[in-house]
Homo-oligomer: A and B are copies of this chain.
């Protein structure tokens, strides 16, 4: 227990430099206490990150693992149009894990937390057989204004932020044994949660449905179609393809953490929001008119069914 206790002390100390006014009581009591603004609702999301499932120690520097871990939670808050307030971290650590790894992980996570004024307000620590990090993010959104997956209607345009497949392309290179420098600008190692875009879209009532692309475009678009009870068609030549990715990875590669949203036909969606490129890639259709939920129109104008071949955790790909 000595190690856990001293770690909790260390984390409590470092968490002090990422403060959020909503946090009334942070680490140090049975529960954290948060005060939402009047007229706001609470958002909660949890994401589990496991060694050799979501990352590999040999490929991912500890700081990138911490960054990616928090990004997953922040990206879910972005996808509701919300504002993050606090995060909670449960850590399972192998006995022989070097302290330097823990320090790096914490540094990567807290740097991102500070950037978006998210306070590390609690958590738990235990020994474990593999590195285990469960991240919980709490946020707020004006009452009744959260953007759900279920609001898409036939005729709505389908949009994405940024470009797709870049993260999967890096992962493919890692699998091929390529040595990569895990630079801060590489979206696989240091993805950016699209919090400003999500909030802007919600404020301007432009998004009818929204989620973040974590599993891959084909799977995540199916989530919107499933929850909204609609079908969709996308055009292959409109998909914004990430650096060295290609269409297949842009359609099926995961972990880009870009936003996928729909907007009414007559809505004016800007080409850029907060410096981030916005691309219309297709249209929501009436489900009864089509034999399959999601179709793709190729460069030759031919329409085919888009299979849902999303992101499988890479432990399974070996």
Interface residues of chain A, those whose CB is within 8 Å of chain B, are 1, 24-25, 28-36, 38, 41-48, 50, 53-54, 75-77, 79-80, 82, 86, 88-92, 121-130, 132, 134, 136, 138-139, 141, 143, 146, 148-150, 210-212, 227, 310, 312-313, 315-316
Contact = CB atoms under 8 A, between A and B. Distances in A.
A136 B92 contact: no
A316 B127 CA distance: 10
Contacts of A54: 126
Contacts of A129: 129-130
A311 B41 CA distance: 38
A39 to B, nearest CB: 9
Given A28-B149, A29-B211, A48-B126, 20 more contacts: A28-B227, A29-B80, A30-B45, A30-B211, A31-B44, A32-B43, A33-B80, A33-B146, A35-B143, A36-B36, A36-B42, A44-B136, A46-B88, A47-B90, A48-B125, A50-B92, A53-B126, A92-B132, A127-B315, A136-B136
Nearest to A198: B30
Contacts of A136: 44, 46, 88, 136
Contacts of A312: 1
Interface of A is mostly: strand
A44 B126 contact: no
Nearest to A132: B132
A92 B129 CA distance: 12
Contacts of A30: 45, 75-77, 79-80, 149, 210-212
Contacts of A50: 92, 126-128, 132
Contact of A48 (B29, B41, B134, B212): B134
Contact of A124 (B48, B128, B316): B48
Contacts of A24: 41
Centre residue among A44, A121, A149 by max chain B CB count within 10 A = A44
Given A134-B46, A315-B127, A148 B29 contact: yes
A33 B29 contact: no
Given A30-B149, A76-B30, A149-B28, A46 B122 contact: yes
A139 B44 contact: no
B42 A33 contact: yes
